[in-house]
Amino acid sequence: MSVYTPATLITAKAMGNGAANIATWRYQNTGGAGTFGIVRTAIFMGSGGSAGTITVEQGSTAADTVAQKILDAVQLVAAVPYILNGWYTVQNNDYWEGFASNATTNGGAYGYTSTG
């Protein structure tokens, strides 16, 4: 039987400006065989009321990859949080990652770690 443990997968922080900074905002499941990270909610917002775009990806590649995109350059509205809810399972050694179009966009990811 699986055990789900609530977890902050990515602490709210700046996402980095552009795809070259994708490693700035990343969670990698390194729990071992048979484990999963589960992203339930991710929240994004420009700091200081700025707008911009966000891109979020999930998969085995630690780089900006078209096939892994969940959100692709989604436009944020200034001073309005963007909330992504779902049930995204991040397998062992896979990534949940993203980047923004400006350095003032912050994001956080929350969910569970699962064993068994």
CA–CA gap between residue 57 and residue 44 (Å, rounded): 14
Spatial contact of 54 and 76, defined as CB atoms under 8 Å apart: yes
Per the DSSP assignment, residues forming a β-bridge with 69 are 57
Q: Which two tokens stand for residue 6?
A: 């609530």
Look at residues 97, 59, 54, 92 and name the one whose alpha carbon lies nearest to residue 75.
54
What's the average pLDDT block by block, 10 residues per block, for the chain (116 residues)?
A: 93 95 96 94 87 95 95 93 96 97 94 90
Look at residues 5, 94, 9, 4 and name the one whose alpha carbon lies nearest to residue 43.
9
Coil/strand/helix, residue 43: strand
Amino acid at residue number 38: I
Q: Residue 47: its pLDDT value, please?
A: 78
